[in-house]
Amino acid sequence: MALIEIQHLDKIYNSSAVAVHALNDVTLNVEKKEFTAIVGPSGSGKTTMLNILGGLDKPSSGFIKIEGTDIFKLKSSELIDYRLNHIGFVFQAYNLIPVFTARENVEFIMLLQGVSKKEREKQAMALLDSVGLADRSNSRPNQLSGGQQQRVAVARSLASHPDFVLADEPTANLDSESAGDLLDLMETLNESHNMTFIFSTHDDRVIKRARRIITLQDGAVKSDVMN
């Protein structure tokens, strides 16, 4: 069974006089342990695809199954719980909570899951250690560089032990060295922890590292190749 099965996915926005076909009959599978980039020009449907994969937006038609679960047949409360427990997110703008320390940011997902304080702290420190930031656990986001903040965001995305991580332009705000370090980290997590990563990106630095490249154009899959 594929980790993610997408069949005949359509997304149409009707907010203007003309309907916008953001996704058009997308059908593909994603297997466990993939390191995949979804690429294409602005307006091609990359972000829409990631939002639907993450259960943040609903398709107009078609379906997505994650390990056999059709996520859009879940009730709203069930979908929220599913996202919390099965999907990790890394955003371009980091989205860290500014008044929380690095450790508290990583802990936050586990807090929502009801994990005990002692266990949250233990797991958060282990995750920060895995991204090379154990010594900055008490630093707040404004005390960290952009690359360090994105590493905290990666640690946070792993805190729920997700089935896969969605990374939306994760290197866009990073210099070349920080981007390289972040991609090294993600590759290590992919290879040593079998973590599945799906990127939405236009960054050549990410595209060169990806092992599968899905190109969208006008909402449709233009090509799907192994790199």
Give the Cα separation of 66 and 3 in Å (integer): 6
User: If phi over 0 gives left and psi between -120 and 50 gives alpha, with beta otherwise, what is residue 165?
Assistant: beta
Residue-level pLDDT at 43: 87
**Cβ–Cβ < 8 Å for 8, 59:** no
Residue-level pLDDT at 172: 87
Residue-level pLDDT at 16: 67
Per run of 10 residues, the mean pLDDT along the chain (length 227 residues) is 94 81 95 96 91 93 93 94 93 91 96 94 94 95 94 92 93 89 92 92 94 96 95
Looking at residue 158, its amino acid is L
Cα 180 to Cα 66, 80, 193, 208: the distances in Å are 30, 33, 19, 11
Structure tokens at 56: 């943040």
**Rg for the chain, CA atoms, rounded:** 17
Give the Cα separation of 76 and 169 in Å (integer): 27
Across the chain, how many H-helices and E-strands are there?
A: 7, 10
What contacts 4, CB < 8 A, 6 or more positions away? Answer: 29, 30, 53, 64, 65, 66, 164
pTM across the whole model: 0.91
Provide the domain count of the chain.
1
Q: What domain range is 191 assigned to?
A: 4-226
Residue-level pLDDT at 195: 92
**Cβ–Cβ < 8 Å for 12, 21:** yes
Structure tokens at 114: 């009801």
Cα 20 to Cα 11, 55, 100, 193, 221: the distances in Å are 8, 20, 39, 39, 16
Separation of first and last alpha carbons in the chain:
23
Helical (H) or strand (E) element with 129: helix 117-130
Other beta carbons within 10 angstroms of residue 151's beta carbon come to 25
Residue-level pLDDT at 112: 92
Give the Cα separation of 214 and 206 in Å (integer): 13
Structure tokens at 10: 């359509």
- For residue 190, the domain's CATH number is 3.40.50.300
What contacts 126, CB < 8 A, 6 or more positions away? Answer: none
